[in-house]
Structure 1
Amino acid sequence: MSSTSIAGMTAPALAAAADDNLVVHAGWVHERLAGAHVARGGGLVLVDSGLPCDTFNFVLRARLPAAEARERAEQAIAYFRRAGRPFSWWVGPADEPAHLGELLCAAGLEAAESELGMAADLEALRAPPPAPRDLEIRRARTPAEVRDFARLNAANWTPPDPYVMQFYEMATPALLSEASPLWLYVGYLGDTPVATAELTVGGGVVGLYNISTLAPYRRRGIGSAMTLRPLLDARAAGFRAAVLQASEDGAGVYARVGFVATGRITEYKPPAVP
């Protein structure tokens, strides 16, 4: 990617904006939930939902001086160990120091997943192949639509993760407030919810998260439609750039809409307990 190819933003600026957006995605709701905790300081952001579920517990946006990085990383890891809750630490191109991943492994974590960071100029979006005519994409405006969003996301685990349902039930009032920077979308075929998307506003960009389609409905253009609709809404609202994290399977879908690769983001976790 050239340094100015995405809405006039350089690659370092995009990486920093993506981190800021991820913090909003991961922590905005938590700051409004009883029992949750968000700590900003010491060169990183720690997000604790209070639930025993690493889907909602994070360490993010590390900007650690090299001389203090090991100690501060160990302190953050020790926090979750004391709490007895699983978590993940996300490391992207803007995180510091550059050898942070090595420090995390030395502190007892291991690299669990690596995804492709991508970005798109919202003025240069490309239309994906047509989706099913009876697909209706709704921005979630009611508790029932938030429950549909939660059920579909919980189904990404086998069996479905009950803590996902619990989190979104607690989060519904915040998510449905006019001030919410998290816009949830649900795709319906008839009365059946089949797909989700989330758009987060933050860091001067918008971020796409939770793009998901139930297995029986994949390869029908639904995922591309769920990707494009939030981006068009964001463009209409005046935003110029979008970011996301893509799995290997999803990268092609996003590239067809207009996203280009910007770097890799790696998730570090404590080792699984046998």
Structure 2
Amino acid sequence: MEQPFDGLPAQAMVEMIEANTNEFLLTLGRLGGGEECSEADHQWIIGGSPLAYHNCVTRARLTEESVDEVIEESMRLLQSYNVPGSWHVGPWMGPDNLGERLVAHGFIHVGSEPGMALDLGQLNESLSVPDELVIQRVRNERELEIWTRTLGMGFGEGEVEANWVGAMYRKIGFDEEGSWHHYLGWWHGEPVATASLFLGAGVAGIYFVFTLPQARRQGIGAAITLAALQDASMRGYGVGVLGSSSMGYPVYQRLGFQEYCRIEMYEWALP
């Protein structure tokens, strides 16, 4: 765990990471038509996606007395929509044995995402950019189609995930002053990389960073992430946040990101 930024305690950074992720998941789930629950001690969006990651419990501050009932209620809803689902268990969620209770009910622990944050005033902008790399912001449906097709060539669950996400972004549109902005990286005239910027909860969230395998280890992932963060900074945002893959972790460290927490992932599959 890294030291907090000057004037920003580590707990505040964790809360920013969790809040942006929460808004990101809820917004996409609503667009998909998911059923939302927002109680004082838990929150979810379920039924709007074919993906476990996006039929999810995003917040839970439960007690030993209430935890099993809420887990079972989320499972009944997943079953009623006939979709897989997940719990995104952050450090401020409870009770302390929440993960154990999920596993006892049939969820599988599938790993964790490092929650990372960056003071955009400390962004490392000196990284070298590969020759002939062009990064553009997606501004119309044709460009979003290319973005979607590129993402589907290896990110997450492949075409299924990319097509659903692309369809949700198509619903949002391309408002210059909106909360969502998407980026395409072109190298030697071919689309090879993607990224998305979500401006929510007062911070800039980075999502869907992907580079085609044949274009990796060239600095393209870092360059497209840098472009999105520079855009956020120009829009007045001071903090960037993201959940990192193991592959992306050293890339984000070079940009200046620090790890502040881990988001544990528990998934439930259809019988």
Residue 219 (structure 2) aligns with? 221
1:85 and 1:126 mapped to 2: Cα distance?
A: 41
SS in 2 for 1:27: helix
Residue 239 (structure 2) aligns with? 241
Structure 1 residue 167: deviation in Å? 4.2
Q: In structure 2, give the amino acid aligned to 1:16.
A: E
Structure 1 residue 159: deviation in Å? 8.3
* Distance 1:84-1:62 versus aligned 2 partners, 3 A rule: same
Contact 1:91 1:267 in 2 (8 A): yes
Residue 83 (structure 1) aligns with? 81
- How many residues end up aligned between the 2 structures? 271
Residue 199 (structure 1) aligns with? 197
1:150 and 1:238 mapped to 2: Cα distance?
A: 28
Structure 1 residue 158: deviation in Å? 9.1
Residue 22 (structure 1) aligns with? 21
Residue 258 (structure 2) aligns with? 260
1:131 and 1:138 mapped to 2: Cα distance?
A: 14
Contact 1:119 1:243 in 2 (8 A): yes
2:194 and 2:59 mapped to 1: Cα distance?
A: 26
Q: In structure 1, give the amino acid aligned to 2:172.
A: A
Residue 97 (structure 1) aligns with? 95
Q: In structure 1, give the amino acid aligned to 2:205.
A: G
Structure 1 residue 254: deviation in Å? 0.6
Normalised by the length of structure 2, the TM-score is: 0.90
- Give runs of aligned pairs for residues 99-178 of structure 1, distance below 5 A: 99-127=97-125, 129-156=127-154, 160-162=158-160, 164-178=162-176
**1:53-100 deviation line (CA, Å, top 9, x unaligned):** 224322212222443122112211221122110122111112222322
* Distance 1:145-1:48 versus aligned 2 partners, 3 A rule: farther
1:220 and 1:236 mapped to 2: Cα distance?
A: 26
Contact 1:111 1:268 in 2 (8 A): yes
Contact 2:45 2:57 in 1 (8 A): yes
Structure 1 residue 117: deviation in Å? 1.4
1:68 and 1:128 mapped to 2: Cα distance?
A: 50
Runs of 4+ in 1 over 6 A off after TM superposition: none
Of the structure 1 ranges 211-220 and 108-117, higher mean CA displacement relative to structure 2 is found in: 108-117
* Distance 1:78-1:180 versus aligned 2 partners, 3 A rule: farther
Contact 2:31 2:168 in 1 (8 A): no
SS in 2 for 1:248: coil
Of the structure 1 ranges 104-113 and 69-78, higher mean CA displacement relative to structure 2 is found in: 69-78
* Distance 1:163-1:130 versus aligned 2 partners, 3 A rule: closer
Residue 12 (structure 2) aligns with? 13
Matching of residue 63 in structure 1 with residue 74 in structure 2: no
**1:111-154 deviation line (CA, Å, top 9, x unaligned):** 01212111111101113531212111111111112112211222
**1:163-213 deviation line (CA, Å, top 9, x unaligned):** 531442353031424564222111112442110111111122111111110
Normalised by the length of structure 1, the TM-score is: 0.89
SS in 2 for 1:61: strand
Structure 1 residue 160: deviation in Å? 3.6
* Distance 1:24-1:230 versus aligned 2 partners, 3 A rule: same
Structure 1 residues without counterparts, runs of 5 or longer:
none
SS in 2 for 1:14: helix
SS in 1 for 2:52: coil
Q: In structure 1, give the amino acid aligned to 2:5.
A: I
SS in 1 for 2:54: coil
| Root-mean-square deviation over aligned CA pairs | 2.3
Of the structure 1 ranges 41-50 and 135-144, higher mean CA displacement relative to structure 2 is found in: 41-50
